Structure 1
Amino acid sequence: MTEFRTPEEELGRFRRRVLVAGIVALVCFGLLAARFYYLQVVRHDYFLTRAEDNRIGLVPIVPTRGAILDRNGVTLARNFAAYTLEITPSQVADLDETIDALSEIVTIDARDRRRFRKLLEESRNFESVPIRTRLDDAEVARFVARRYRFPGVEVQARLFRDYPQGEVASHVIGYIGRINLRDQERIEERGDTANYRGSDHIGKSGLELSYETELHGVTGVEQVEVNAGGRAVRVISRTPATTGSDLELTLDIELQKVAEAAFGDRRGALVAIDPRTGGVLALASKPAFDPNLFVDGISTADWNELNDSPDHPLLNRAIFSAYPPGSTFKPFMALAALTTGKRTANQAIADPGYFSFAGRRFMDDKVGGHGTVDLHKSIVVSCNTYYYQLANDLGIEEIAGFMAPLGFGSRTGIDIPGEAEGVLPSPAWKRGRFKKPEQQRWYGGETISVGIGQGYNAYTPVQLANALATIVNGGKVFRPHVVRHVIDTASGERRAIQPEPLRQLAIKPAHLAAVREAMVDVNKSGTGARAFAGAPYSAGGKTGTAQVYSLKGSKYVAGRVRERLRDHSWFIAYAPAENPTIALAVLVENGGFGAQSAAPIARQVIDYHLLGARLDAPAREDAEAAEAEDDTHAGHDAEPTP
């Protein structure tokens, strides 16, 4: 049965509903008003900032990298502008399909594809990766006309690094490469992330790495107003980037070219230093590499060719590779003898052609010996027997104690990364080097070998060159440096890298003079005479031949030994003798006698430095020099006493 309500009841019910609805509406409007108040008044500053952030975009302005110049202003590293075709992987649906389509418009070869894949692995997904670099104007025009077909692909105008000297001084200058994840981590660790926003490249080796902060510059920023679609409408403000500083080096690139040409196709290293300041005049490591290969991202084929080469062209032999110094160690041993009082300049020994120790004969290279030998003659004719006896009299502790302040067995601190320490042998070193007790023990016979630059001795060419510079400049040890000035490109201000003397050695001038006089006679009548015959200047020097492996008593004949097992060739020299302006160390790997391979290279370098004379050709001495040289072959000829 249907219930009927009176009009009064219906009206009351309606009024109640209207009241409830009105209350609900008021509450809702109240909440809405409160929310508006909260957003518009309480959080006004916060949301105003957010709105401004959405309206204004910050675009980094990448600074121009500083140039690198030699001491005479010759450009060694510079920048040039070019167009690149870049893909942002996160905005592309099918990379392979996109690249195939692009290859119909611009040339994209297999090398470009391999490099792109390699860079893609090292980059983040939202970063653009170049598929082609250095596009010409026609290629740019063809792509721009079809740009609408390729979302996520853009043409960018970028600065590229160029090394106009190619392989010359490549180990000194180094190279730049694209920033990878490991580089990014290092940037974040040093709190420099903001300064690398927008940057794609960073120094990877050489001066490009060690002076990265100076060369990179300071990133600028542009405030740009953007619309809802993210397109730029106008520039609001602009803080320009600060161009990186230029580097002016102590290096003479023409001297460097002479040095590298003198090696020809041989492996080795040369370091030439101004003994008055510690400035590096030339630093060569052969073979070298072309740093331009790395700028755009080196191809797999090029990388494999460099990395797998048995000649190791990426290795900086001048500062990283350590070798036994051979007889180039003898002038320093002679100085130790005078300084410690174990010998006087006139004190002589009788050389029978060998030195007996603990039932073993350590042989001199000259059958029958050199007769009566004093300190001067021991250096001139490179008498092994003299230094066998001297090493035994000094003892290993005294040898190591004297050589350490000269810089042997420690990094010189040169401003190129990757320097090795080398090995200055001592009982303490041996205990730290080996694990077994019988290996840790120091034997007297090992001291004898150390005395002639063999045994555990292992030093880098830069250590030997710097030690030589020390004894020709009066005993002052400098930190070698390659950069002479850091130049502010905006103001032109030149900040000099001042010579940094590390210490002054307490060596008597008379003792230094005695050793230097003997080294001058090495090039007049001794083992370096052939290489310096006819020189219109006076130069000091010392040959050295360092054993690579032992023949265990057999006679060493170079032609019967595989090339890479032959002796290393050393030569150290300085000139002019009266007031030296250059001190150098030359190493030719497996080059044989020092007079035959290394000394002629030194002659060419000094001729150019003092006279401006140059051959730009490999320097080699004839075979007669090898037969005439008296040098270190004790390891080959040592034999037990019958």
Structure 2
Amino acid sequence: MKKKKLFKNTRYTAITVIMLLIFSTMAGRLFFLQVVQGKQYMEQSNNRAIREIPEAAPRGDILDCKGNKLATSAQGYVLVYNQTDESDKTFFSTMDKVFKILDENGQNQQDDFELKVNPFQFQFRSDDENTRNSLEIKFKRDRGLNEAIQKKIKSKNEDISDDNLKTQVNKELLKISAEDTFKALLKEYKIPNGYSLEEQRRFMIIRDTLKMQSFSGYKPATIANNISKDTAFKFLQMLNELPGVDVNTQPIRSYPNKDLGSAFLGYISKIASNYEKYKDKGYDISSDYVGQGGLEAAFEDRLKGSKGGRIVKLNKNGRVLEELGSRDSYPGQTLQLTIDKDVQAAAEKSLDERMEELRQNAYGQERADTTNATRGAAVAINVNTGGIIALVSRPGYDPNDFSIPGKLTTEQYNQYFNPNLEEFGIKYIRQRNITANYAGKSEDEVLNILFPIDKSIKNNTTIRQDLYDIYPKPFYNYATQSLIPPGSTFKPMTAIAGLESGVITPYFSYYDNATYNQGGRIARFDLDGANGWVNLTTAIQKSSNPYFMEVARLIRNAFGDDTLAKYAWKFGLGVPSGSEEKPSTGIEISENYGQVYNTVFNENTFARNYLANTMSVLKNGVDDRGSSIVKIDLYDNENDSDKVKSLKNDIKNLIQNSIKSGKTAFDKEKYKELFSKLTLEDSNNKKNISDKDMDSLIQAIYYITVSDANSQLDVPANIENAAIGQGLNQFTPLQIANYIATLANGGTRYKLHLVDKFLDSDGNVIEKVKPEVLENTEVKAENIEAVKAGMEAVNEKGTAAKAFADFPIKTAGKTGTATIVSQEHQTQIGRTDYAEYVGYAPLDKPEIAVYVVVFDGGMGSGSAYIAKDIYSAYFSKQLSTSTSSVNN
């Protein structure tokens, strides 16, 4: 019995031991898998098998006032690559097949990769060189090119501050060429050598996309965007042969009218600045597109919508096995505008045709060469609401070029962001024989005058400036940004000031003999010719410069120089000096804001311009009378110490104060003190100046600042020139159009706006934009009617009569022909007058006000034809009805 019991116990013990060994082994394996390698497997699970695939939200539509689509989001097919360990093993052979199918079907690979080959170069979407440098530095830092540089610098200077380290690293990063950057990324992404540069770059685009997107979590890399339906189906049929490749759908931004309305629409593009701001708002800064310029940027928050996404399980080849959850995307809000698509189209077409006509017949006008009539603007406003009916800037651009990555060609990129101003400048100079205007100077010297090297860019020897606004810029909004003299379109404003101040009546007459005595200087108007006796109506009709100069003289003598500005400010032509009023028309997109002549503005402008003149004279060492003086360089230098910077600023402030205040504030001893300190402290200006040379130096400054600049501040010519729309008067086309709208409606200035209402994706109104009055000018009705009578005469029998001779609707207007600074100056640089026109219609009950300008367009009367085409489109139904009635 005892033996049996012992045997039994031994058997159970053995089984127990075996079981313990098995469980111990399993526990040990589980510990190894869950604890030792748990993190690794968790990462593989998270990063390889279960993913969230984001779903872009359709941007809200942008509609015109009649519901026509100006911008919309269309569903497109997108070819993507899902990265897994398995799909990566065949990445290059798979992509070879993908690229071949794309090429055979005429489809483009998505390409917003800024590093180009053949030739090697960076293409960042900015026309500012400093911005491009910043983007290049970020590009290289994002890809780790800074790490080796940073390590090397720190090895030599362990105590270097973070700021100095960053500055030095950035400086070195800019030295890395595009070619060397490409080679570094070939190595980083392990791209084989057996391919051409273009093929290697195609692989690099996808590899780089995957790396950049890894910083913000997993996301498939887009191979091709907006592919055709047929191409999408071909890929769907071949998915088993293409590991990692898949076809998705995604909303694509579309502008059905191409470049129509580009001046106010803007476009969408990759995030290029304010990265943290967008990141905080939930954007993927490596791939998301945002509004750039225009309404797309101004209402980004409303248009963008809310992203969705799917949680999916992928197999080893990156194919979706199962959807575990989803979150729907939600479209952005729709903007319905005050813009009328038909009027916008008519304005753009007419302006383009007029400029083409001027270029083809470049010498068809006296005193004008319109070869470079390549830029223009037009604005049409509802005079009773401030709603903008049309906003045109030419040349324009096609926003579709940016909504689909890879569509923008190198040629288009250069045209938009990096124009060759040297090549353009040489052609411009030769076309006009401009070297003949510069005796003894070579073509290269003239090129450096008109298109100088931009010295604000460090170490730059090639980037040039368009100093005189000659090159046509598609991304520059000439309607809202360009400040130009209004010319004779300002004369109705002078008339309002004269009537309201009481210095004239509608019957005040003046004898116009085509000259005007401006304090001893005789201004001649030979081109206009003598008009004889003119009153207010005929002075506006015939655009009499002497008449309005006399009105300005009377205003100045009675009430001072700022009286003209006091009335112009009411109409939105600038803001009162020192006031807290925001300088804005109210438009939702970016704008400049010009100013009318006034004494404070005059002083500040003279101080700024004559400071530049003084600094140039001092640096060259030759005064305005040709005598040699001590050379002093007051320009900023990157090596200047804080003390030297302070001394230079003190001298500049002293010069400006001398210009503004004249001889009573000219402190000779202070100049001596500051120059003596500067020549001791500044290595670039280190020299001993004798008392005699110091006196000559200070005398040269006195001559420029006091004898010349200050003496001109208080001359009658300032307000007299302003009264005819010249001198310091400079406004945007938008400002001028609003001033005419204010005049047309009887004196109420409205806030300008492009958006009429905000709608949800179902078309329901979320918010209606109501007309907002910025100012009631309180100008007497009889004075406005007196000015309108003159503007009616312009279109009936004056300078615009030919344009409106056969137009059935009664209109009123004013032509304007404005010079840049002086006739001699603009001839010297090859430019000619701005051709301007303002007007409103109908005459008896105004609805629409317009302003049109052609840069280098010659006589303003030519722009009246563009205004007529705008009216024709706006009143198309009325004109059609009247024509039908006549035919019946």
Q: Same fold (TM over 0.5)?
A: yes
Contact 1:116 1:130 in 2 (8 A): no
- 1:279-358 to structure 2, matched below 5 A, reads 279-297=387-405, 298-307=408-417, 308=419, 310-358=471-519
Contact 1:176 1:208 in 2 (8 A): yes
- Greater shift, 431-440 or 383-392, is seen at 431-440
- 1:34-433 to structure 2, matched below 5 A, reads 60-86=54-80, 99-107=95-103, 112=109, 115-117=112-114, 124-126=212-214, 129-144=221-236, 147=239, 153-177=245-269, 179-182=270-273, 184-188=275-279, 191-193=280-282, 200-220=288-308, 222=310, 238-265=326-353, 266=355, 267-297=375-405, 298-307=408-417, 308=419, 310-365=471-526, 369-395=530-556, 396-409=561-574, 411-433=583-605
1:511 equivalenced with 2:783 (yes/no): yes
| Structure 1 Cα separation of the partners of residues 532 and 807 of structure 2 | 30
Matched to 1:77, the amino acid is A
Query: Alignment RMSD, CA only?
Result: 3.8
Contact 1:111 1:299 in 2 (8 A): no
Going from structure 1 to structure 2, the CA distance change for 1:129 and 1:511 (only over 3 Å counts) comes to farther
Contact 2:380 2:389 in 1 (8 A): yes
| Structure 1 Cα separation of the partners of residues 502 and 745 of structure 2 | 22
1:489 equivalenced with 2:761 (yes/no): yes
Give secondary structure in 2 for the equivalent of 1:103: helix
Match of 1:577 among 824, 840, 843: 843
Match of 2:713 among 420, 435, 442: 442
Contact 2:515 2:522 in 1 (8 A): yes
Superposed displacement of residue 385, structure 1: 0.3
- TM-score by length of structure 2 reads 0.57
Contact 2:275 2:285 in 1 (8 A): no
Contact 1:57 1:225 in 2 (8 A): yes
| Structure 1 Cα separation of the partners of residues 293 and 330 of structure 2 | 23
Superposed displacement of residue 90, structure 1: 11
- TM-score by length of structure 1 reads 0.78
Match of 1:542 among 790, 798, 814: 814
- 1:617-636 to structure 2, matched below 5 A, reads none
Superposed displacement of residue 181, structure 1: 4.7
- Greater shift, 539-548 or 368-377, is seen at 368-377
CA displacement, residues 261-318 of structure 1 (integer Å, 9 cap, x when unaligned): 1123523111000000011111111221111111113232221133428322222111
For structure 1, the residue ranges without an aligned partner over 5 or more in a row are 1-28, 40-49, 616-642
| Structure 2 Cα separation of the partners of residues 314 and 172 of structure 1 | 11
Superposed displacement of residue 594, structure 1: 0.9
Residue of structure 1 equivalent to 2:875:
610
Residue of structure 2 equivalent to 1:473:
745
Give secondary structure in 1 for the equivalent of 2:752: coil
Going from structure 1 to structure 2, the CA distance change for 1:88 and 1:292 (only over 3 Å counts) comes to same
1:590 equivalenced with 2:856 (yes/no): yes
For structure 2, the residue ranges without an aligned partner over 5 or more in a row are 1-23, 35-42, 116-123, 125-204, 356-374, 425-470, 576-582, 612-655, 660-704, 881-888
Residue of structure 2 equivalent to 1:523:
795
| Structure 2 Cα separation of the partners of residues 95 and 520 of structure 1 | 73
Matched to 2:347, the amino acid is A
Superposed displacement of residue 573, structure 1: 0.6
| Structure 1 Cα separation of the partners of residues 319 and 345 of structure 2 | 52
Superposed displacement of residue 478, structure 1: 0.9
- Greater shift, 437-446 or 565-574, is seen at 437-446
Contact 2:803 2:865 in 1 (8 A): yes
Contact 1:68 1:78 in 2 (8 A): yes
Residue of structure 2 equivalent to 1:24:
none
Superposed displacement of residue 582, structure 1: 0.4
Contact 1:540 1:574 in 2 (8 A): yes
CA displacement, residues 61-104 of structure 1 (integer Å, 9 cap, x when unaligned): 43221111111121111222222234579986999887545323
Matched to 2:875, the amino acid is L
- Greater shift, 352-361 or 216-225, is seen at 216-225
Matched to 2:872, the amino acid is D
| Structure 1 Cα separation of the partners of residues 52 and 599 of structure 2 | 62
Contact 2:841 2:848 in 1 (8 A): yes
Going from structure 1 to structure 2, the CA distance change for 1:512 and 1:130 (only over 3 Å counts) comes to same
- Greater shift, 253-262 or 364-373, is seen at 364-373
Give secondary structure in 2 for the equivalent of 1:106: helix
| Structure 1 Cα separation of the partners of residues 404 and 110 of structure 2 | 12
Q: How many aligned positions are there?
A: 561
- Greater shift, 379-388 or 90-99, is seen at 90-99
Going from structure 1 to structure 2, the CA distance change for 1:432 and 1:342 (only over 3 Å counts) comes to same
Going from structure 1 to structure 2, the CA distance change for 1:79 and 1:586 (only over 3 Å counts) comes to same
Superposed displacement of residue 599, structure 1: 0.7
CA displacement, residues 153-212 of structure 1 (integer Å, 9 cap, x when unaligned): 5433211111111111121222112x3252533314xx4226x69972211121111121
| Structure 2 Cα separation of the partners of residues 200 and 149 of structure 1 | 30
Contact 1:608 1:614 in 2 (8 A): no
| Structure 1 Cα separation of the partners of residues 735 and 590 of structure 2 | 14
Contact 2:332 2:761 in 1 (8 A): yes
| Structure 2 Cα separation of the partners of residues 498 and 388 of structure 1 | 40
CA displacement, residues 306-364 of structure 1 (integer Å, 9 cap, x when unaligned): 34283222221111111111000000110011112222222222223211122201123
Contact 2:58 2:305 in 1 (8 A): yes
| Structure 1 Cα separation of the partners of residues 260 and 811 of structure 2 | 27
- Greater shift, 406-415 or 419-428, is seen at 406-415
Matched to 1:570, the amino acid is E
Matched to 1:80, the amino acid is A
Contact 1:60 1:198 in 2 (8 A): no
Structure with the largest fraction of strand: 1
Going from structure 1 to structure 2, the CA distance change for 1:228 and 1:142 (only over 3 Å counts) comes to closer
Give secondary structure in 1 for the equivalent of 2:547: helix
Give secondary structure in 2 for the equivalent of 1:104: helix
Contact 1:89 1:125 in 2 (8 A): no
Contact 1:324 1:546 in 2 (8 A): yes
| Structure 2 Cα separation of the partners of residues 88 and 425 of structure 1 | 63
Going from structure 1 to structure 2, the CA distance change for 1:88 and 1:326 (only over 3 Å counts) comes to farther
CA displacement, residues 568-587 of structure 1 (integer Å, 9 cap, x when unaligned): 10000100011101000010
Contact 1:243 1:489 in 2 (8 A): yes
| Structure 1 Cα separation of the partners of residues 718 and 799 of structure 2 | 26
Going from structure 1 to structure 2, the CA distance change for 1:362 and 1:174 (only over 3 Å counts) comes to same
Contact 1:175 1:208 in 2 (8 A): yes
Contact 1:175 1:294 in 2 (8 A): yes
Give secondary structure in 2 for the equivalent of 1:182: coil
CA displacement, residues 410-469 of structure 1 (integer Å, 9 cap, x when unaligned): 654444423111232333224434144234762422322111111122111111100100
Give secondary structure in 2 for the equivalent of 1:601: helix
Residue of structure 1 equivalent to 2:866:
601
Going from structure 1 to structure 2, the CA distance change for 1:325 and 1:129 (only over 3 Å counts) comes to farther
Percent identity over the alignment is 29
